[in-house]
């Protein structure tokens, strides 16, 4: 397979210009790519697309999707607040959180929709809002994902209410007069159509049980997790291929049960991953008997996915000045004093070094890391080794760059620290 990656969306001149104007490391997002991302997921009785904002929560990205009519999937009460501050209509926000929100009464009164993810959450919601509508997240017993860390269904996942606790859900709902109107499942990131078909069938079976128990379920939310091809040899999820069996399952459900269910999906990575890149600078080149290392002025502080999941990102070396260069075989590492700060792990194995065929690197060159539009800036570990968070810019539809997040300062990193030990 061809492992030599090429620049996507950015030109060599743009890389150099952006690095000079904004310094490195800097995230670059492409407005046109964000706006042009198609989500033609097959459906029969209506579709609501919710952006999983944990993928990238910059206010400008939230507003771009809001203008396209995409609603919000929030994973914490802080994300709800952030979306509201971005100008998102609270009625278009669905909160699905591992932690029960402290400010839930305020949010509900504003119109935010709540998805109970455990029996305790359902009980607490019922105590606060008896005789009300509620959504429930159910773990259908099956999961999918590239690694166990991206699998959000099955017996090894804590997300949602285990499907065999169905009777307990009904009991709590009856005690508080709750009516379940949406069922939510999410299995993780994967692209196997057979798995999606099977999970859709299992989820529809759960919906049918709720309807037979007297609940007026109107919506089935199948979550997100559509795989995106970051590397040139990968394949993205085919929405038509995965969605058509799901659409047919909804049709069959209507014929059998007499209920036309609306479909909801919650893509995050699919919408943003390949709309962003990170530009860093080569700060050192080192050699051992086994490897050639490129050290950059970024790494796990800004992109944790390789260290966390063994995830691959396309990497391109851009020479600081135009000159002929040979190709070389390199391991790319970050600037943290941490052996796990590795940008080129063996696929799916965050602990094993892998090499890439790259342009011969020299100190001062630039490194462009692609597929960085999702789960990078929003999932960073800023502050480790006291490195501040990177700046972020947006390239608009005319190619003009706009600073949309300032580079963090050391003073900002330390601003919440309180001195109680005095110097001599």
What was the pLDDT predicted at 146? 44
User: In a 3-state reduction of DSSP, which class is residue 42?
Assistant: coil
Domain 40-266 -> CATH class = alpha beta
Chain CA centroid to CA 392, Å: 17
Which residue, among 134, 98, 91, 144, has the nearest Cα to 114 in the 3D structure?
134
CA atoms within 13 A on the CB side of 108: 17
CA atoms within 13 A on the CB side of 300: 20
CA atoms within 13 A on the CB side of 93: 29
- CA pair distance 246, 47, nearest whole angstrom: 12
What was the pLDDT predicted at 253? 97
Dihedral, CA atoms, 282, 284, 287, 290, nearest 10 degrees?
-50
- Is the backbone of residue 106 left (phi > 0), alpha (psi -120 to 50) or beta? alpha
- CA pair distance 141, 43, nearest whole angstrom: 24
CB-based contacts of 237-241 (< 8 A; 24+ apart in sequence): 237/190, 237/191, 237/270, 238/191, 238/193, 239/39, 239/40, 239/41, 239/42, 240/40, 240/42, 241/193
342 touches 293 (CB < 8 A): no
- CA pair distance 205, 359, nearest whole angstrom: 53
Q: How far is CA 383 from CA 67, 88, 249, 277, 380, in A?
A: 34, 30, 48, 21, 9
- CA pair distance 27, 389, nearest whole angstrom: 10
- Please indicate whether the domains covering 12-28+273-407 and 40-266 agree at the CATH topology level: no
- pTM (2 d.p.): 0.93
Q: How far is CA 252 from CA 36, 44, 205, 410, in A?
A: 32, 11, 12, 58
Dihedral, CA atoms, 248, 210, 163, 39, nearest 10 degrees?
40
What was the pLDDT predicted at 145? 45
Inter-axis angle of helices 119-128 and 166-176, nearest 10: 10
**Which residues in the chain land under pLDDT 70?**
1-3, 38, 142-157, 187-191
What was the pLDDT predicted at 389? 93
- CA pair distance 273, 347, nearest whole angstrom: 18
| Residue 92 DSSP one-character state | G
Q: 12-28+273-407, what's its fold?
A: Lyase, Ornithine Decarboxylase; Chain A, domain 1 (2.40.37)
Cα angle 63, 369, 413; round to 5: 65
Question: Active site residue: 117, 242, 336, 337, which one?
Answer: 337
38 touches 403 (CB < 8 A): no
Q: How far is CA 298 from CA 6, 102, 270, 365, 378, in A?
A: 20, 36, 24, 13, 15
What was the pLDDT predicted at 153? 47
- CA pair distance 369, 51, nearest whole angstrom: 23
What is the DSSP track for 51-80? EEGGG---HHHHHHHHHTT-EEEESSHHHH
Cα angle 377, 381, 386; round to 5: 120
What was the pLDDT predicted at 235? 87
Active site residue 337: yes
Q: How far is CA 152 from CA 143, 149, 256, in A?
A: 6, 8, 29
Dihedral, CA atoms, 112, 116, 120, 123, nearest 10 degrees?
70
Domain positions in the chain are: 12-28+273-407, 40-266
What was the pLDDT predicted at 1? 42
What was the pLDDT predicted at 367? 98
What was the pLDDT predicted at 241? 87
Report the first-to-last Cα separation within the chain, whole angstroms: 63
Return the biggest CA–CA distance within the chain.
80
What was the pLDDT predicted at 40? 78
Q: How far is CA 222 from CA 103, 148, 189, 194, 199, in A?
A: 26, 19, 12, 14, 8
């Amino acid at each position: 397979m061809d492992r030599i990656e090429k620049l996507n969306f950015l030109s060599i001149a743009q890389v150099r210009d952006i690095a000079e104007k904004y310094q490195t490391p800097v995230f670059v997002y492409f407005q046109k790519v964000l706006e042009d991302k198609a989500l033609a997921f097959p459906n029969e009785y209506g579709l609501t697309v919710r952006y999983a904002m944990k993928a990238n929560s910059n206010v400008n990205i939230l507003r771009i999707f809001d203008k396209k009519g995409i609603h919000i999937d929030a994973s914490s009460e802080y994300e709800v607040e952030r979306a509201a501050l971005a100008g998102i209509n609270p009625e278009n926000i669905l909160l699905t959180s591992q932690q029960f929100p402290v400010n839930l009464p305020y949010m509900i009164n504003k119109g935010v929709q709540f998805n109970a993810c455990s029996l305790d959450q359902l009980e607490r919601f019922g105590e606060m809002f008896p005789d009300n509508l509620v959504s429930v997240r159910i773990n259908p017993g099956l999961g999918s994902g590239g690694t166990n860390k991206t699998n959000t269904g099955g017996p090894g996942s804590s997300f949602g209410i285990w499907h065999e606790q169905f009777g307990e859900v009904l009991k709590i709902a009856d005690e508080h007069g709750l009516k379940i109107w949406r069922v939510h499942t999410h299995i993780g990131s994967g692209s196997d159509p057979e798995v999606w078909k099977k999970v859709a069938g299992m989820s529809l079976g759960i919906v049918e049980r709720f309807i037979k128990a007297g609940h007026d379920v109107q919506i089935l939310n199948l979550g997100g997790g559509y795989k995106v091809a970051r590397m040139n040899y990968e394949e993205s999820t085919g929405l038509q291929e995965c969605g058509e069996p799901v659409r047919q399952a909804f049709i069959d459900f209507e014929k059998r049960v007499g209920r036309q269910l609306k479909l909801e999906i919650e893509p995050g990575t699919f919408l943003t991953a390949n709309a962003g890149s990170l530009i860093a600078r080569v700060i050192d080149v080192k050699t051992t008997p086994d490897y050639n290392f490129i050290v950059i002025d970024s790494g796990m502080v800004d992109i944790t996915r390789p260290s966390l999941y063994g995830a691959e990102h396309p990497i391109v070396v851009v020479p600081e000045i135009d000159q002929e260069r040979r190709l070389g075989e390199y391991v790319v590492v970050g600037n943290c004093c941490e052996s796990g700060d590795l940008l080129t792990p063996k696929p799916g194995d965050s602990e094993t070094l892998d090499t890439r065929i790259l342009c011969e690197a020299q100190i001062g060159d630039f490194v462009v890391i692609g597929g960085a539009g999702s789960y990078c800036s929003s999932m960073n570990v800023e502050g480790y080794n006291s490195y501040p968070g990177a700046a972020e810019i947006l390239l608009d539809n005319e190619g003009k760059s706009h600073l949309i997040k300032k580079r963090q300062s050391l003073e900002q990193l330390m601003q919440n620290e309180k001195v109680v030990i005095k110097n001599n």
